[in-house]
Amino acid sequence: MRYLTHAGTPSGFRALKAAAKRRVSPEQDHYQEWIAQHEVLSEPAAVAQLGGFSKRPLISIVIPVYDVEEKWLRKCVASIQAQWYSKWQLCLADDHSHSEHVRPLLEELAASDERIKVVFREENGGISAATNSALTEASGDYIGFMDNDDELAPNALFHVVQVLNEDPTIDLIYTDEDKMSEDGVRFDPFFKPGFSPDLLLAHNYITHFVVVSKELLAKVGPLRPEFDGSQDYDFVLRATERAVRIHHIGRILYHWRTLASSVAGDPTSKMYAYEAGRKALEAALERRQLAGSVQMQDNLGTYKIEYEGKLPSIAVLASSYSAGRLRKLQESTQYPDVAFVPVTEETLNQVAQERGEDKLVFLDGLLPKDPSWLLEMVNASRGAGVGVVGGKIFDRHDRVVNVGITLRALRGHEPFEMRGQTDQGIGYYFRDILPRDMFAVTEDCMLVDRKVFVTLGGFNEQLAAGIRGVDFSQRVLRQVGGRPLWQPYSVFVDTKRHPLIMLRPMIFQYLRQHKDLSDPFASVCFPPNMDQEAYIEAAIDEVTGSSDGKNVVVSGWAVDMQADEEVNIGLADSSVATLDKVKRLSRPDVNRMFPVPADARLGFEASISLAVGEEGPSAQLPVLLVSTSQDREKLSYPRQQGKEYGKLKDILRKIALLRHPRSTLKRLIDKYISPRLQKHDYRKLIHRTERYQLSAVKADINSFAWQPLISLLVPVYNVDATWLKACVDSIKSQYYDNWQLCLADDHSSQPHVKPLLEELAASDERITVVFRQENGHISRATNSALEVAEGDFVGLLDNDDELAPQALYEMVKCLNEHPDTDLIYSDEDKIDERGCRTDPHFKPDYAPDLLLSTNYISHFGLYRTSIVREIGGFRVGYEGSQDYDLVLRFTECTDSRRIRHIAKVLYHWRTLPTSTASSGSAKDYASDAGLRALQAAMERRRIPAEVVSEGPAGIYDVHYQVNDPALVSVIIPTKNGYDNVKRCMDSLIERTDYPNYEVIIADNGSSNPHMWDLYREYEGKLGERFRAEKIDIPFNFSLINNIAAAKAKGKYLLFLNDDTEVISASWMTRMVSFAQLDRVGVVGAKLYYPDETIQHAGIVLGMGGPAGHIMIGSPRSYLGYFGRLVENVNYSAVTAACCMVKAEDFEAVGGFDADLAVAYNDVDLCLRVSQQLGRDNVWAHEAELYHYESVTRGYDTTSKEKKERLTREAEAFKSRYSALIEDDPYYNPNLSRTSGNFWVRKW
């Protein structure tokens, strides 16, 4: 009736649904499904793995025997004989059985297998004595304990040996188990937690199946008869005290037989056993020198320890309480030394750190059910190694709200286990009625030592509610070694309107930031929440078939949500299909959805062959399986649906994107809003900037001291007459009229071409036409035009494009201002068949590294004719990118100072279906030719390098060979950044393929003593390659890094924020490959926010102030403006969050400017390296890292003093670089200085 009463609420409905499910769908059915889905390892696969094991120990199984029924002992022994791992020994000790069948049975078993040893005791001594007798026969390296009527899973010993090979220091192993009926039916699985010392002090959850090393057994001693009935509990308590490493195998490897006389069948049948358990706990307290008493609980086999000692003083920091409720909280608390302090979310951290009590308790809108709640929390905190303590929270209807946090649940669909369930009976193996060590407890109910809270800096206020507690629990565990403990004896009712929630996107964002998190106390499954737990998330996106029906390609993705394993793709047994191959693909969209490594390849294409029978290929699609070592699932194919379903699916997809608000907003703006706004803004820009008064232009031309002849080279082949006329008309319309048009027909096959060309030549004496006798393609045709060119400079046009009327005027004007110029290029746009101009390409000034990524110079280019002829004109074999090959060779014969850029659109590239202007894929051959041209350039320049295509047509990466893998000094400044440093260092060590580096931690006065423990850990890993320098001065980013740099030994200095995490293994190699070049100054990296959006892709002067980041917030998968996010780009500056510079260059310019203590110091360094040393700064897009920028100090403007300092530094920077701030040469003046998205500037 209780369920029906509250069924109207969402949580009440969930509880009703769960109750109905328990009745309609028996749990047994769920467990059988779980077995089929998760117990996927086969014997052949296990045997194959055994072949690679270096360690194959003998395992002795000891079993006491007393009057056991023959069939159960035979089944027990048969289960051992069926083990996939065969190097075992079975030691059976008969405890002087009365039943006559026992002795002959044991003798028969011993005779049947030489691995079976039998001992016959002369008198009955009880289970401990019998087990000890069996131990005398055990000669194994490891000893396992079993009961004589239970069974081992056939893979049990295999998995034991598997973990021993993975970690030979393990000396105590226990496994999960289930029950087995007399009919052999498995039921009631017990998925145990990882080793939980506090749960073990309340209940012997570890046995069965326990395996210990012979060395540990020697230290602990045999079983003790005085604890018979709980002799295993006593042994486990003693063994876990002495074990070097305890390991839990999260697999059901033991089947506990339920018989009428066994504890598994009737818990009340052996009351003496529970009393023995109490005595074992008392003995454990005495050994551990802990003062306390042990109480047996109502649930048989469970206990509670009441510790003794002086009570600490407590400050209860109460949030979300009205005055009346706060009084009620005080009245509901019995504790001698407690202060209640009202706080808000904003003041909580500060107030907590100012308190002087021994312990802090945080409560958020909770009222206790019993006045002893605080005594219970303090009692729980007295256990050895306990760091934080949580309590049990219900809602007003006695439904569970919060019983602690597991990592498994966080990765699933409901982060709060048991939420919405009623508190009935013992729950799932005492889940919510016994204390247990947990992954985390939340800050709405938490006790912690005040000194620990202060040392760790309190809660991270930048995290969402709930996640703050998770994060703090983990910091206590990782930095202080204190376990998070959830206990059920402090029971609360949540009085808030809405209980604490944690949104999945926020959880996943946190998990992405902390990829090394693990849950040492986890179980592999929690059956009451089984339908909410995520093991493998997977989907099929598309199925495509060949025309003959013999092959299909299935595309989709799959994610292991629990262990980050690569998900295997396979087929169910099929007579009609064969899996040919599986291709792994990058799926950035999927990576953004789940807490997985950014470089995880989660997509797949499965190529499948279908059998062909007499009636043709099979029409039935094969069943696709996805599996890991722990799970296996079948994938459903997407159904063919109507248009309305497609529309609904599209709407739901868009709604799902709202889980990533920032990147989603960026996508929506860029897809639907930005293009329209940009077209409008570009039209306004054209209207404002392309106003030429012809009389003024003519007067200006007449004043030119130099009026060179400009020869325009236009190869022609079967061009549409309309577009060729438009092209020629645009040249005839030039304001500057000293030009020559050289048209070279490449033996066109269309009959209209020759008469048209003759007509054009006759119409203007400045037009020269060459008719080739054979087709030679575009390079030969352009060379034919070059042969008749008489001008000082040649310009390149395609035969269907147009020049702006002011084009040659602007070019010649530039030549008069800079007569030594060899190459001039302009901006360009596209023009469609209706004459509508769009998609302007506003280019930077000469950028050598960008040119080695793509031919950004392209149209319109004007080249000194003598150099073009000197280098041999256009080369055959590079058609499609003949202009790219030309500009690469041309720039080798001049100086960057003789290359000019006109930041005006002077060329209109016609978009026709067959032109590369309309589609990057229309001429794929052009991209291949560009790659060959770039590789040839590297060979000419004698630069060892490999050129690869980045993916999008016409974009390339030059992978320079590192000629001298010199030492790189990585400098990481930090203060109390324990988690940041750990994440950064672990990723650096694990993912960096560059072999020669050292790390210098610049510790700016950390007060957290555990920082130095962490540093010693890395000293142990890296030796002399790691050192921490104590730089205890007032915060000054520049000075801190300068001091650390002075102690560096490397040829290269790599400045790295502590809140970064390495993504790509080649990141340091790529940075060194650029930094080694003489012309390169500072090298920057591509940095992402944890939500997979761009944090840093270069710095532009004058962007949003003195300087700002470009493309910030763009999704990781974006190519950027004309590919800028996947190209190596020259910028004026890059961020010091991750940048590399030669040590000699850094020293030559005096390092960072200490007068810029917080802001713009990195930009200033880059500019001085560029200006004083003549270096090119480059942003290397393949050096990828995460930057958790919100975690760092940032530009703190919360105090007046800090705000004033930031303003002073900004003004100082602007006074130094006013001209560059006004006009950054690497960012076109026609682009916005506010958006950072390469949008058209609004003048």
What are the pLDDT digits (tens) for 766-790?
999 999 999 999 999 999 999 999 9
Mean pLDDT of 19-43: 69
pLDDT the model gives residue 630: 65
pLDDT of residue 743 exceeding 70:
yes
Mean pLDDT of 259-263: 60
> By C-alpha distance, which of 282, 493, 521, 514 is closest to 396?
493
Interior CA angle at 855 toward 852 and 858, to 5°? 150
Mean pLDDT of 347-370: 96
E-strand ranges in 33-110 read 59-65, 88-94
- For the record, the structure tokens of 707 come out as 């009026």
pLDDT band at 672 (very low <50, low <70, confident <90, very high): low
pLDDT of residue 944 exceeding 70:
yes
Mean pLDDT of 210-225: 97
pLDDT of residue 1200 exceeding 80:
no
276-313 confidence digits (pLDDT tens): 999 999 999 999 999 999 999 988 899 999 999 999 99
pLDDT of residue 903 exceeding 80:
yes
Mean pLDDT of 451-473: 94
Greater confidence (113 vs 665) lies with 113
Greater confidence (503 vs 849) lies with 849
Greater confidence (163 vs 24) lies with 163
pLDDT the model gives residue 267: 57
pLDDT of residue 618 exceeding 80:
no
Q: Considering only the C-alpha atoms of the chain, give the largest distance between any 2 of them, rounded to a whole number of Å.
A: 127
pLDDT the model gives residue 173: 98
Q: What is the average pLDDT value for the chain, to the nearest integer?
A: 89
Mean pLDDT of 883-904: 96
pLDDT the model gives residue 516: 82
pLDDT the model gives residue 700: 96
- For the record, the structure tokens of 1044 come out as 């650390």
pLDDT band at 1117 (very low <50, low <70, confident <90, very high): confident
pLDDT of residue 748 exceeding 90:
yes
Q: Specify the DSSP class assigned to residue 345.
A: T
pLDDT of residue 223 exceeding 80:
yes
Instruction: Say how far apart CA 10 and CA 151 lie, in whole Å.
Output: 43
**Predicted TM-score of the model (pTM):** 0.75
Burial profile 67-92: b = 16 or more Cβ within 10 angstroms, e = fewer: ebbeebbebbbebbbebbbeebbbbb
Instruction: Say how far apart CA 1147 and CA 1142 lie, in whole Å.
Output: 9
In a 13 Å sphere around the CA of 555, the CA atoms on its Cβ side amount to 8
Task: List Cα–Cα distances, 922 to 397, 917, 994, in angstroms.
Answer: 66, 9, 39
pLDDT band at 526 (very low <50, low <70, confident <90, very high): confident
pLDDT of residue 1021 exceeding 80:
yes
Instruction: Say how far apart CA 720 and CA 976 lie, in whole Å.
Output: 70
pLDDT of residue 219 exceeding 80:
yes
961-1017 confidence digits (pLDDT tens): 999 999 999 999 999 999 999 999 999 999 999 999 999 999 999 998 899 999 999
pLDDT of residue 494 exceeding 90:
yes
Best-predicted range by mean pLDDT (257-266, 293-302, 733-742) = 733-742
Mean pLDDT of 840-868: 96
Antiparallel, parallel or unpaired: β 483-494 and 386-394: parallel
Ordered domains of the chain (ranges, CATH): 38-268 (3.90.550.10), 312-532 (3.90.550.10), 536-638 (2.60.40), 701-942 (3.90.550.10), 966-1222 (3.90.550.10)
Instruction: Say how far apart CA 104 and CA 870 lie, in whole Å.
Output: 104
Instruction: Say how far apart CA 625 and CA 495 lie, in whole Å.
Output: 47
CB count, 10 Å around CB of 884?
27
pLDDT of residue 23 exceeding 50:
no
Which range, of 219-223, 228-232, 500-504, 1192-1196, averages the lowest pLDDT?
A: 1192-1196
pLDDT the model gives residue 3: 35
pLDDT of residue 563 exceeding 70:
no
Instruction: Say how far apart CA 1133 and CA 799 lie, in whole Å.
Output: 39
Task: List Cα–Cα distances, 606 to 77, 552, 616, in angstroms.
Answer: 44, 8, 22
pLDDT band at 644 (very low <50, low <70, confident <90, very high): very low
Greater confidence (158 vs 9) lies with 158
pLDDT the model gives residue 492: 97
pLDDT band at 534 (very low <50, low <70, confident <90, very high): low
Greater confidence (666 vs 697) lies with 697
Which range, of 93-97, 690-694, 734-738, averages the lowest pLDDT?
A: 690-694
193-209 confidence digits (pLDDT tens): 999 999 999 999 998 89
Greater confidence (714 vs 503) lies with 714
pLDDT of residue 626 exceeding 70:
yes
1072-1101 confidence digits (pLDDT tens): 999 999 999 999 999 998 888 899 999 999
Name the region of 307 (left: φ>0; alpha: ψ -120 to 50; beta: rest). beta
pLDDT the model gives residue 921: 43
867-888 confidence digits (pLDDT tens): 999 999 999 999 999 999 999 9
Residue 35 near residue 524 (C-beta atoms within 8 A): no
pLDDT the model gives residue 1: 36
> By C-alpha distance, which of 457, 441, 463, 467 is closest to 363?
441
Mean pLDDT of 929-957: 92
pLDDT band at 12 (very low <50, low <70, confident <90, very high): very low
Mean pLDDT of 592-619: 71
pLDDT of residue 866 exceeding 50:
yes
67-107 confidence digits (pLDDT tens): 999 999 999 999 999 999 999 999 999 999 999 999 999 99
Report the share of the chain in percent with pLDDT over 90: 70
Greater confidence (761 vs 561) lies with 761
pLDDT band at 531 (very low <50, low <70, confident <90, very high): low
418-449 confidence digits (pLDDT tens): 888 887 667 788 888 999 999 999 999 999 99
Task: List Cα–Cα distances, 672 to 715, 838, 841, in angstroms.
Answer: 39, 16, 20
